[in-house]
């Protein structure tokens, strides 16, 4: 009888875990309220696909965006989007301060594209807080580069231009 109770308790724990995960996923994809620092808090109208950013960076006479990487500095040094600047990890207070200092002198209409690329979009700890900070600072032309998997798969492997170091 003790085994049955343990087995039932384990089943209940598994079901509770699945229900919690389902609730979180449902909120993220069904218009529920994702946390303000989640990648899912960024409106889809503010997302750029990699091919769109690549086109913008190569367009003649176009209003080129300031591209800021808000993930790991190690990742940035390994490979980053050509012309991008490292602006601090968006998940850390020091990184957000670095980002704030970088954009402080800029006009609030500056076209800024943020990206991270450390991990799948659904788990990125950096892009949501960085995006929120810029919006809170009054920047009105901010986009986030939607990197579904990681920078390697979604930018480098597609042959888009990269730089190394810094």
Could you tell me if 5 and 46 lie in one domain? no
- Average pLDDT in the 52-56 region? 95
3-state class of 128 per DSSP? helix
Quick one: angle between helices 93-103 and 127-136, nearest 10? 40
3-state class of 54 per DSSP? helix
Q: How many domains does the chain have?
A: 2
Could you tell me if 59 and 119 lie in one domain? yes
Query: How far, in Å, CA of 155 to CA of 9, rounded?
Result: 46
Angle subtended at Cα 104 by Cα 88 and Cα 70, rounded to the nearest 5 degrees: 20
Could you tell me if 26 and 101 lie in one domain? no
The structure tokens listed for 137 are 């600072």
Could you tell me if 157 and 83 lie in one domain? yes
Could you tell me if 43 and 97 lie in one domain? yes
Could you tell me if 17 and 48 lie in one domain? no
Could you tell me if 10 and 83 lie in one domain? no
Q: What is the CATH number of the domain that holds 83?
A: 3.40.250.10
The pTM of this model reads: 0.77
pLDDT at 36 (0 to 100): 61
Could you tell me if 127 and 150 lie in one domain? yes
- The pLDDT mean for the chain works out to 83
Angle subtended at Cα 91 by Cα 67 and Cα 125, rounded to the nearest 5 degrees: 85
Positions of E strands within 64-134: 66-69, 80-81, 85-86, 112-115
Could you tell me if 22 and 84 lie in one domain? no
Residue 4 lies in domain:
1-33
pLDDT in tens, 95-124: 999 999 999 999 999 999 999 999 999 999
Asked if 102 and 85 count as a contact pair (C-beta separation under 8 A), the reply is yes
């Amino acid at each position: 009888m003790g085994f049955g109770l343990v087995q039932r308790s384990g089943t209940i724990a598994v079901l509770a875990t699945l229900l919690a995960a389902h609730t979180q996923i449902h909120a993220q994809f069904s218009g529920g309220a994702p946390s303000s620092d989640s990648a899912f808090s960024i409106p889809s109208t503010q997302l750029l696909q990699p091919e769109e950013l690549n086109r913008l960076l190569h367009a003649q006479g176009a209003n080129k965006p300031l591209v800021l990487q808000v993930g790991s500095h190690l990742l940035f040094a390994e490979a980053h989007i050509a012309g991008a600047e490292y602006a601090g990890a968006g998940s850390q207070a020091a990184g957000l301060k670095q980002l704030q200092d970088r954009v402080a002198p800029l006009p609030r209409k500056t076209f800024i594209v943020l990206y991270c690329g450390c991990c799948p979009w659904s788990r990125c700890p950096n892009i949501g807080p960085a995006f929120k900070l810029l919006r809170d600072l009054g920047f009105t032309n901010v986009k986030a580069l939607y990197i579904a998997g990681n920078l390697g798969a979604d930018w480098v492997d597609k042959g888009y231009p990269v730089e190394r170091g810094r």
